[in-house]
């Protein structure tokens, strides 16, 4: 870190959950110490940010919290 990541429809986990289906989404980052997708105590995370989809504007996240 730091890292730049571009999110788009190709990253959708399910076809019906594409970013382009929404006008705004909540974006956050988490570093999993266990390697699990579900947050567990001790993981590091950012505060979520509400973002307008399709603007192309960069979003800065600060991973500055510990999951309790």
Q: What is the pLDDT of residue 42?
A: 96
pTM as predicted: 0.82
Average pLDDT, the chain: 94
- Exposure string over 13-33, b if 16+ CB within 10 A, otherwise e: eeeeeeeeeeeeeeeebeeee
* Mean pLDDT for the stretch of residues 31-49: 95
**What is residue 4's three-state secondary structure?**
coil
pLDDT, one tens digit per residue, over 41-67 is 999 999 999 999 999 899 999 999 999
Tokens for 7, please give them: 């999110």
Closest CA to 29 of 10, 49, 12: 49
Q: What is the pLDDT of residue 1?
A: 83
């Amino acid at each position: 870190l730091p890292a730049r990541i571009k999110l788009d429809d190709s990253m959708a986990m399910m076809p019906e959950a594409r970013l382009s289906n929404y006008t705004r989404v909540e974006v956050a980052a988490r570093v999993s110490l266990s390697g699990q997708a579900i947050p567990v105590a001790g993981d590091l995370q950012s505060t979520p940010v509400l973002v307008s989809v399709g603007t192309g504007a960069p979003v800065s996240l600060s991973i500055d919290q510990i999951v309790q």
